[in-house]
A and B are shown apart, each in its own frame.
Chain A
Amino acid sequence: MSVFNVYLTGVGGQGIGLLSGALGAAIVDAGLALRGCETHGLAQRGGVVVSHLRIGEGAFAPRVPPGQADLVVSLERLEALRGTVSNLRRGGRVIYYDAEYQPIAVRMGEARYPKADDIEAEVARKGGTVERVFDEGLSDPRMQNVALLGRVAALGAIDRITPERLEKAISASVPASLVDRNLEVYRRALGA
């Protein structure tokens, strides 16, 4: 039975919970079978946070196996590269928000932080496609996740996850007082 694997990744504190919560709710709303999992090692604390969403009756285990993601969605550039290398399947798609959070080795001058080219090269090597997302007008970095969701919906990256369906899921996922601000960012990303 078929499976569509979505691998969501980012840095602890970036709001990956909303990303996976809203997508998960939209997937269930669309009547699709869903099995997922959060992985975040030692709490979060600026480490890598991954959320797995596996759509379809053929998903039994909770995590997307290495090299089997149809779609990698990342909130950060280095994690987009890591997710591409570890989990993107041949011919898969990457959508990432171009935020930069340097790990300690980069800050100490011992390693280089990747460029957008590094991701493109890696995705090309796997015969996939990549879209970089960045919203110049974003007032609060905590809404990068919503901007990213806007592009995921606009590109129709997940079958049956329409802009309307995802908007409904976002509205239900954020605190009532923040719905308007988030939807403004979401709709701007939809049209971008």
Chain B
Amino acid sequence: MQTIQANLTYPKPWAGLVIGNEAVARAMIESGTRVITTYPGSPTPEIARTLDLVAPDHRDFYFEYSTNEKVALEVAAGAALNGHLSTVFFKSVGLNVASDSLIQLSMMELIGGLVVILGDDPGANSSQNEQDNRIWARMSYIPMVEPGTPTEAYHMYKEAAALASAQRGPVFLRLTTHVCHAREVVHFAALSGGGPDWTPRFDVGNGPYWPIAAEVFPLKRKALKKLQAVSDLAERSPLNEILAPHGSAPVGGKRLGVVSAGIPAYSVLENIDQAGAPVDLLKLGITYPLPRQKLLAFLEAHDEVVILEELERVVEGEVKALAFDHGVTCRIHARPDWDQVMGEFDPVRSYRLLSGIWPEAFAPRDFAEPSREVVPRPPQMCPGCGHRSAFHAVKKAIESDTITVADIGCHSLGSSPPYNLGEVLLSMGHSVSTGAGLAVKNDSRRVVAFLGDSTLFHAALPGIINAIIYNHDVTLVLLDNGTTAMTGHQARHGAGEVGGKIPIVGLLEALGVQKILDVDAYNQRKLIGYVQEANAHEGFAVVIARHPCMLKFTRESRKRRPDLKLPKITVSPDQAADAMPAMEQFGCPTFQRTDDDLVGVSEDLCIGCGSCIMTAAPGTLELQRPAPPSAPPEGPEGGDR
């Protein structure tokens, strides 16, 4: 069995066990996609990780981590205007950021073609909502294809790329979390051959590219005409297929059919297979525009049809309208309750739904319910995380009625116990401006906003400039770990891994921030003082709590020196009770409660960073150096600047 690591750019056909995201990356290589951009976000970051397997000087494609999703989309669209087949990918909510430019794209002749890959997240596995981006396809007139497995993701990317090139426009490939992370053997084809042609082919004669006021209408007309052509294609496409693993036959005198797409379609297939039911499934691969004639024929061939989709009632609404317009007598069932527009449809949930509607085809079954509660295990900051040190200090520094505003990143975890800091969360980079609103005409309660360094560059700068201009009375605690940690340590802009460094202090000074305090987050005493000082300052102030991501740093150190022995923290036996704050308030996972309700240390977890020492009484916690002595993992930029 071959691996994607060894075979991503292998020119001949091969097969391997891969996840959906890896299959999509190979599809890009096979399709000759030339310009690829992203801003990292779950569930798609493994596409980037896979593309990064190709060394930059061996790439037949250009790939960048852009500052945010809108920038990424614009770079990809610009390249498509120049004639290069391009692709941008990001998380579901990334589309909100990108939307301001995206909404124009169907009116443009993108002569190279553009595939926009969405990592939608039904079930909100890693997102702040579970928005249904199928609706965006309808608003932007952009065709959409939806795979349900890694194999389909691979084939449908190639279909989407071919369609985008032929249409000279954008096409959505809508992945969902468990398509991105599903794993199976995928059979890949040969590379298409031919090196890149980087000739810039932008020609305004292909346009116009200028949609303002009355100029909009000829362009919109063109977009709608293109959509009609895709609609005709959807009628013929094998991506919209009827499956019947147990054949078609009436059940209780009724011919039954299901319409579904993506993973829910596979849940239904599993149900049909297990029940041995002669029910037809119309599995939609192109979900915008829908194949109206094919759907109509399916309705007319059945007495009853269930529309089973995840999230919004998108297909349901359009199919019901179609049936109404054509006076179809087929009875159309759909999800009965509002709570069914939430979450994913695994085979148990889809079976329950089908069995509730057609017990004669799907005999009622008892599904086991969990018998007891189990202590939850929420995600947490890693041992050595500078954010933990920062939250611990901020907690000590602020009043109990201070309003704290969270943002997106590893530091979102500050909202959980034992810190409970970050009480409101909207989106990437919102914290300063939401905090500004909370501070308006508010003379009694302080406002503290948190922000990460990647998010600073992503979307926070306009809010910061606004806070400076109006001198909003907010303390920004900027948690700088030098990387995009949450999604897997992608290079962060300005950190020096790509391009030059952008000094954050210099940037804030240049923007006109009056008060900037900068400290290593491990330095508790100084950080507490700085937060208090910033809170005493009238107007916008910034405290930078800085420490390199220790997960990244420790991993890299171990890679360089596999035999690396780290120091370990020890609890002084006669002062074990004094160590309690380190476990209960500082909350490093290294500290584990012993059977005697004392503080123990997990040697598996401790990285010997010493960040806890200042959080307990002096002499309680000490670092035990390994023998033979080895340097503690000083951060690459450790210590105060």
Contact = CB atoms under 8 A, between A and B. Distances in A.
Interface of A: 1, 11-13, 20, 24-25, 28-29, 34-48, 58-63, 65-68, 78-79, 81-82, 85-86, 89-90, 99-109, 111-114, 122, 125, 141, 177-178
Q: Which of A1, A40, A125, A141 has the largest number of chain B CB atoms within 10 A?
A: A40
B379 A47 contact: yes
B270 A59 contact: yes
A38 B380 contact: no
B347 A177 contact: no
A33 to B, nearest CB: 9
Q: How large is the interface on B (under 10, 10 to 19, 20 to 34, 35 or more residues)?
A: 35 or more
Given A43-B126, A61-B347, A104-B417, 5 more contacts: A37-B182, A42-B379, A43-B379, A86-B370, A102-B593
Given A39-B181, A60-B266, A101-B589, A25 B17 contact: yes
A141 B182 CA distance: 27
Interface stretch (B129-137, B298-306, B597-605): B597-605
Contacts of B114: none
Nearest to A65: B348
B110 interface: no
Contacts of A82: 374, 377
B204 to A, nearest CB: 44
Contact of A46 (B263, B367, B379, B593): B379
Nearest to A1: B273
B368 interface: yes
Contacts of A85: 370-372, 374
A24 B231 CA distance: 40
Nearest to A21: B17
B593 A113 contact: yes
B372 A111 contact: no
Interface string B120-155: 000001100000000000000000000001000000
Given A37-B181, A90-B368, A62 B378 contact: no
B380 A108 contact: no
When A and B form their complex, which 6 residue pairs have the shortest distance between CB atoms, in order from nearest?
A47-B379, A67-B368, A62-B182, A60-B270, A141-B604, A36-B183
Interface in B329-369: 346-348, 367-368
Nearest to A47: B379
B375 A67 contact: no
26 contacts: A24-B183, A28-B185, A34-B184, A35-B183, A37-B178, A38-B19, A38-B181, A39-B181, A40-B181, A42-B412, A43-B126, A44-B379, A47-B380, A59-B270, A60-B266, A60-B270, A60-B273, A62-B183, A65-B347, A79-B377, A99-B604, A103-B378, A104-B417, A107-B583, A108-B418, A141-B604
B170 interface: no
Nearest to B413: A45
Contacts of B1: 25, 28-29
Interface of B, helix, strand, loop or mixed by DSSP: loop
Given A58-B274, A107-B592, A66 B367 contact: yes
A47 B589 CA distance: 11
Contacts of A67: 348, 367-368
Q: Which of A90, A105, A114 has the largest number of chain B CB atoms within 10 A?
A: A105
B375 A66 contact: no
B378 A106 contact: no
Contacts of A108: 417-418, 583-584, 587
B375 A48 contact: no
A68 B372 CA distance: 17
Nearest to B489: A43
Contacts of A1: 273
B161 interface: no
B427 interface: no
A122 B370 CA distance: 11
Nearest to B3: A172
Contacts of B126: 41-43
Q: Which of A38, A79, A81 has the largest number of chain B CB atoms within 10 A?
A: A38
A43 B274 contact: no
B228 interface: no
A35 B17 contact: no
Nearest to B599: A107
A36 B182 contact: yes
A41 B380 CA distance: 12
A91 B333 CA distance: 36
Given A47-B377, A85-B372, A63 B178 contact: yes
A96 B382 CA distance: 24
Contacts of A178: 562
Contacts of A102: 589, 592-593
Contacts of B587: 104, 107-108
Q: Which of A48, A60, A79, A100 has the largest number of chain B CB atoms within 10 A?
A: A60
A95 B195 CA distance: 51
Given A43-B379, A62-B182, A107 B584 contact: yes
